[in-house]
Copies of this chain bind each other. A is one copy, B any other.
Amino acid sequence: MTGLPFARRTHGVGPSMPRPEHGGLISFEDGYAYPGGLPDLGDIAATAARAFRPETLQYAPRVGLPELREWIASYLRAEGTQVTGESVLIVNGAKQGIDLACKLFLDPGDAVVVTRPNYHSALNIFRGWDVELVEVGLDDEGLDVAELETRLHARAKGGQRTPKLLYVVPEFHNPTGVTTSRRRREAILHLAERYGILIVEDDPYRRIRFEGAAVPPLQVLDPTRVIGLGTFSKLLAPGLRIGWVAAAPDVVRRMAALKADGGSCPLTQRMILEYCRAGRFEPHVRQMTETYARHRDAMTTALRAEVPEAIFATPSGGYYLWLRLPEVVDSDRLLDDAKRLGVDFLPGSRFYATPGPKNVLRLAYSYASPDDITEGVRRLGEALRASA
């Protein structure tokens, strides 16, 4: 079968590869949950499988359990959106939402706006759809709207297709940690309206805010132009594989028709619902936010002490810290040295659609404990000096 000429479109298996027993390895690689913070869902799982058996072991509505759709809608309304349950599609993690948006809206050769750098798994999904990636830089206020405007104008003049989608992580951007300012959000929406571009707002880290005030989601500012994505992976447990799409009911219906998996798992949907209804969700999110704030603090403190040559903005939330090292450093090569010394990370090259700077890398502080973070950063500093 290997020899068949027409198989195509594979770009690496991405971030959810098997995680071996670390042994000595301290991992800053992926946005895994802190294992010490994973809740005990044993009772909830038993209830879902037993008391809700005819629902949770049977085929479920392809759009998702009605009660969970309603719960998510009310959760989103607390942020200021106007969505109802009909606007919510349950998916197997927000990534499936990106994929369904591609399947519904894109044809091969279409263009999609991404940030530079951009969440690497989203880049891989877009690549799987044979689309052109239009990279636009970002600064400490978010996506560079002036650059986007220049690019859109030039494309229109040059007869190139106007992008159909703009993908953005406005809150604690992956990988840079940047939160898009309100002013910038409004400018993005204004430009998107002018050019008829749909926005995919991927917002998994919104609630993992350590300090500062929340900025309204783009979907609140313009409910008609934005497809919102959220997930319980970063709030409760990645293994439940439940996220959501929030969009116009018509878009939700059409995405559901393309959701070729017979609907997301009703058992884990019910588990989440019972967990939320038992009043356990909000305290858990608060506790995890405090946990991740301590992780962030451990990392920034260690970086200042052990890697003083690194430049970074301290993230106010989310899972990641973006490190800029001296220009001579090649983070792909640094990774080899780092692994030998027992620490890993994702080199910056993973986050660019076209080759970018070599001296950047992403550290995830979510997974390792504060003590391991301190030791891991020390090893990173050692690797840096070893490779210098």
Report which A residues bind B (CB closer than 8 A).
1-2, 4, 6-19, 30, 32-33, 35, 38-50, 53-63, 66, 91-93, 95-96, 98-99, 103-105, 107-108, 121, 124-125, 128, 164, 196, 198, 224-225, 227, 233, 237-241, 247-248, 250-251, 253-254, 256-258, 260-268, 271
Docked-complex contact B260 and A98, CB < 8 angstroms: yes
User: Which residues of B lie under 8 Å from residue A233 when comparing CB positions?
Assistant: 59, 262
New contact pairs (18) apart from A10-B253, A96-B261, A128-B260, CB-CB < 8 Å: A1-B224, A1-B248, A7-B251, A7-B254, A13-B62, A15-B59, A16-B62, A17-B62, A40-B50, A42-B50, A58-B237, A93-B262, A95-B261, A99-B261, A103-B128, A241-B262, A265-B268, A267-B267
Instruction: Identify A59's interface contact among B104, B239, B261, CB under 8 A.
Output: B239
User: Which residues of B lie under 8 Å from residue A225 when comparing CB positions?
Assistant: 1
Task: Give Cα distance in the complex from A274 to B140, angstroms.
Answer: 49
Q: A93-B262, A240-B265, A257-B14 are in contact. Are A44 and B49 (CB under 8 A)?
A: yes
Of the A-B pairs whose beta carbons lie under 8 Å apart in the complex, a sample of 5, sorted by A's number, is A6-B107, A32-B59, A38-B58, A92-B261, A240-B267
Instruction: Identify A16's interface contact among B103, B104, B263, CB under 8 A.
Output: B263
User: Which residues of B lie under 8 Å from residue A60 when comparing CB positions?
Assistant: 16, 239
Smallest CB separation, A343 vs chain B (Å): 20
Smallest CB separation, A31 vs chain B (Å): 8
Task: Give Cα distance in the complex from A11 to B256, angstroms.
Answer: 10
Q: A1-B247, A62-B17 are in contact. Are A57 and B240 (CB under 8 A)?
A: yes
Name the residue among A46, A50, A225, A237 with the largest chain B CB count within 10 angstroms.
Answer: A46
**Identical subunits present:** 2
Instruction: Identify A265's interface contact among B14, B63, B239, CB under 8 A.
Output: B239
User: Which residues of B lie under 8 Å from residue A59 when comparing CB positions?
Assistant: 15-16, 19, 30, 32, 233, 238-239
Task: Give the nearest-CB partner of A261 in chain B.
Answer: B92
User: Which residues of B lie under 8 Å from residue A12 when comparing CB positions?
Assistant: 257
Instruction: Identify A10's interface contact among B39, B61, B258, B261, CB under 8 A.
Output: B258
Smallest CB separation, A380 vs chain B (Å): 23
Task: Give Cα distance in the complex from A366 to B43, angstroms.
Answer: 31
User: Which residues of B lie under 8 Å from residue A62 when comparing CB positions?
Assistant: 13-14, 16-17
Smallest CB separation, A232 vs chain B (Å): 11
User: Which residues of B lie under 8 Å from residue A95 when comparing CB positions?
Assistant: 260-262
Docked-complex contact B30 and A57, CB < 8 angstroms: no
User: Which residues of B lie under 8 Å from residue A124 when comparing CB positions?
Assistant: 257
